[in-house]
Structure 1
């Protein structure tokens, strides 16, 4: 277990400070009290989770659960057991691996550099990969690596959550065939127990038959998460109905950086965290 105590240094603006107090129940006093309570639990009954105890790694879970201790314990337990049970996602997370570099450059999971109403925005190109060549497990691995870095570097992602825009362009039988119900179940479990909250799940350029697959995915979701799913037909520019046009890449009719530039940005970012990823593999339930 990692060394615990360090002082929390806020990077939040005044508006966000008010938001965490009013919406997440996060005051200076409550934050320190809850951090210590979770650390004591991780040192005691939950030592078997072998979890990180640094403030920056506990705080996102507390914020995602609005500082409800029992909900936080449940989510952290689910998260660290997932890290144990899904080695295909959480081991060998080396950003220099050619397959991961190729997937990141393809734009399979691309956070934008600017927020929409304080929420982080991620573009997920569900069919950018070649299903004969790439495996879904490598796609999930690359996406979660990016999500980890985004969460560490962007406190607002922890606080306001994430808008995920799933671009369904090019989706076909070959992609669906390898997306088994078990994989869908594991994906939904990760969305619901990760340390960044998905606030909206928006599907754009959707095929008419998308509801067949979505009904399977929704069957694994909580009622609250099912309410966050929305399907858009009629092209990728429908993303402009979800977030402001000026932050979207030109591929989506926007005025922001291109997908190629964003892919290179996140690949470079992950390479900077190469040593962190190698060390991070040891944090998982026994």
Structure 2
């Protein structure tokens, strides 16, 4: 088999070895074992190109069993909740409108030039009268999917999210229902192979605490310990993320939002067919070996979320 995987820089390759248990000489065998398992799953129809699958192996520190579970959850949830997670049209006018607002940006330089990828979401930039948070999160989901395919820093070093609520209103907060929060939280933590390293909240507004307290218990204890609420104290953020790694709009040197948006506009054009192909992939629960998944029990708004048990 001839591997079709983008080569890593020496620095990232060393990090993959030390932090993710990657053994370059064994990658071909690891991928072959992964693909063999996929072929044995009658209910599962995923992408199987090398670059896509290695993201799951790296995201699971090369534990094949964890990678199997994560891939299955990834497609199970995308199939059951396509309105949340299965993006097939990045040329939709509303999608492009939201993107051009610059409400979500992945910054060009990772932290400290070789660390985690930095992403900023600015909820105050979109009108709740015109857009729902689900519309905005679909743009975020598409950007995350592109990062899975081409951002080695995000996959190997992880991602740091900054949620900037400047200009937001209570209306922004209360568009997020408990059921929506459950779905997004479990998809992010249990299905996506990117590794969340921290989440910072700045310029928080009245009502934020209520949503935050709803959201926090849904995360693992590890991720709960990586949440930081800074209020309006930007200096608390820049103690952990030096100002130079923020965009020019924040007084930093890490690109301008206008430039970043223009660059990602090109990416969406390039990935247009890739997203259309998403309609071809997913799961068929009728063919799943064993008992079917009780989605209503898992994601109903009553009670707490019980983790998927898929292998």
Same fold (TM over 0.5): yes
Return 5+ residue gaps in structure 2 as ranges.
285-311
Q: Is contact 2:4–2:50 with CA below 8 Å preserved after alignment?
A: yes
Please give the alpha-carbon distance, in whole angstroms, between the structure 1 residues aligned to 2:192 and 2:72.
11
Q: Is contact 2:79–2:86 with CA below 8 Å preserved after alignment?
A: no
Alignment-derived partner of residue 100 in structure 2: 105
Alignment-derived partner of residue 267 in structure 1: 265
Match of 2:161 among 141, 149, 164: 164
Aligned residue-pair number: 281
Match of 1:25 among 21, 24, 28: 21
RMSD: 1.9
Match of 1:79 among 74, 80, 100: 74
Match of 1:188 among 185, 193, 213: 185
> Given the superposition, is the C-alpha separation of residues 242 and 102 from structure 1 closer, same or farther in structure 2, using an over 3 Å criterion?
farther
Please give the alpha-carbon distance, in whole angstroms, between the structure 2 residues aligned to 1:152 and 1:178.
30
- What CA deviation, in whole Å up to 9, does each residue of 1:124-172 have, x standing for no partner? 1123211121122221111111111122222221111101111111222
Partner SS, residue 263 of structure 2? helix
> Given the superposition, is the C-alpha separation of residues 81 and 199 from structure 1 closer, same or farther in structure 2, using an over 3 Å criterion?
same
Task: Please report how far the alpha carbon of residue 254 of structure 1 lies from its aligned counterpart in structure 2 after TM superposition.
Answer: 1.1
Task: Please report how far the alpha carbon of residue 40 of structure 1 lies from its aligned counterpart in structure 2 after TM superposition.
Answer: 0.8
Partner SS, residue 206 of structure 1? coil
Please give the alpha-carbon distance, in whole angstroms, between the structure 2 residues aligned to 1:124 and 1:6.
39
Alignment-derived partner of residue 216 in structure 1: 214
> Given the superposition, is the C-alpha separation of residues 9 and 49 from structure 1 closer, same or farther in structure 2, using an over 3 Å criterion?
closer
TM-score norm. by structure 1 comes to 0.91
Instruction: List aligned pairs for 1:9-48, cutoff 5 A.
Output: 9-44=5-40, 46-48=41-43
Match of 1:151 among 131, 148, 152: 148
Match of 1:142 among 139, 145, 151: 139
Task: Please report how far the alpha carbon of residue 239 of structure 1 lies from its aligned counterpart in structure 2 after TM superposition.
Answer: 4.2
Alignment-derived partner of residue 201 in structure 1: 199
> Given the superposition, is the C-alpha separation of residues 86 and 237 from structure 1 closer, same or farther in structure 2, using an over 3 Å criterion?
farther
Instruction: List aligned pairs for 1:37-76, cutoff 5 A.
Output: 37-44=33-40, 46-76=41-71
Task: Please report how far the alpha carbon of residue 262 of structure 1 lies from its aligned counterpart in structure 2 after TM superposition.
Answer: 1.4
Partner SS, residue 190 of structure 1? helix
> Given the superposition, is the C-alpha separation of residues 178 and 209 from structure 1 closer, same or farther in structure 2, using an over 3 Å criterion?
closer
Return 5+ residue gaps in structure 1 as ranges.
none
Please give the alpha-carbon distance, in whole angstroms, between the structure 2 residues aligned to 1:238 and 1:254.
15
Please give the alpha-carbon distance, in whole angstroms, between the structure 2 residues aligned to 1:203 and 1:133.
24
Task: Please report how far the alpha carbon of residue 91 of structure 1 lies from its aligned counterpart in structure 2 after TM superposition.
Answer: 4.8
Please give the alpha-carbon distance, in whole angstroms, between the structure 1 residues aligned to 2:261 and 2:235.
20
